[in-house]
A and B are shown apart, each in its own frame.
Chain A
Amino acid sequence: AQSVSQHNHHVILSEAASLELGCNYSYGGTVNLFWYVQYPGQHLQLLLKYFSGDPLVKGIKGFEAEFIKSKFSFNLRKPSVQWSDTAEYFCAVNEERDDKIIFGKGTRLHILP
């Protein structure tokens, strides 16, 4: 069965710091990969997704993620975080022939002003 591991449960950064959140998945076949974000008091929403093609994917609000197939990883990055990036971030994976996506446990990101 596929699974998703997020390495950091809680990350605290100062504004303008660089961010990298780790994500690894455990399925050897073709996958689609996602990062979802939940801002305080809001519902989950899609940040970015990878289906095929360029392994470097750009999403909203300056976020990007890189798919490294050999490492089964899909890490999320942002060069300079803002206070408004405070949220919980979920990595998710979908097997090509499956209809559901599987979520990691999430990483709480807290940005100090």
Chain B
Amino acid sequence: GAGVSQSPRYKVAKRGQDVALRCDPISGHVSLFWYQQALGQGPEFLTYFQNEAQLDKSGLPSDRFFAERPEGSVSTLKIQRTQQEDSAVYLCASSSNRGSNEKLFFGSGTQLSVL
């Protein structure tokens, strides 16, 4: 596709529900990042993939958060037993080379609201 695509655009979950957020990076992009952006804050790093390998997951806030990219393209961020503090915009970004030294292309994000 022309850009990074994320779905759904909006997600409302009841506290305790599991959610899955999808990211389709630009075709051929090696690197994929997930960020969490709370209201009024900057994006906070969650995790990074180089192809299918998850090289850094230091930003995942708890073991309720899990990300995968099994074939090195589409990635899914899963949040189990959602809590109100998980409410945020989840951003996906990809780049053509390793890491974020090259330009990052961001998706529009998934806005998660946990009630």
- Chain A positions within 8 Å of B, measured between CB atoms, are 4, 6, 32, 36, 42-46, 49, 51, 90, 94, 98-106
Contact of A105 among B42, B93, B106 (CB under 8 A): B42
Q: Give which listed residue, A32, A43, A49, A100, contacts B109 with CB less than 8 A.
A: A43
Among residues of A, the one whose C-beta sits closest to the C-beta of B99 is A99
CB distance from B41 to the nearest CB of A (A): 5
Cβ–Cβ contact A100 & B104, under 8 A = no
Pair count A-B, CB < 8 A: 56
Size of the chain B interface, CB-CB below 8 angstroms:
28
Which residues of chain A are near B33, meaning CB under 8 Å? 100
Question: Could you tell me if A102 and B45 are in contact, using CB atoms closer than 8 angstroms?
Answer: yes
A42 to B104, CA, bound (A): 15
Top 9 closest pairs, chain A to chain B, by CB: A99-B99, A103-B42, A44-B106, A101-B100, A105-B42, A43-B106, A103-B43, A46-B103, A100-B45
- Pairwise interchain contact B56-A99, C-beta atoms closer than 8 A: yes
Q: Which residue of B lies closest to A97 (CB)?
A: B99
A44: chain B residues at CB < 8 Å are 43, 91, 93, 104, 106
A49→B109 CA distance, assembly (Å): 23
Of chain B, the residue at the smallest CB distance from A101 is: B100
**Complex formed: what's the CA distance from A106 to B41 in Å?**
7
**Could you say which of A101, A105, A106 contacts B104, with CB atoms under 8 Å apart?**
A101
- Cβ of B31 < 8 Å from any Cβ of A? yes
- Kindly state the separation between the CA atoms of A43 and B100 in the bound complex, as whole angstroms: 17
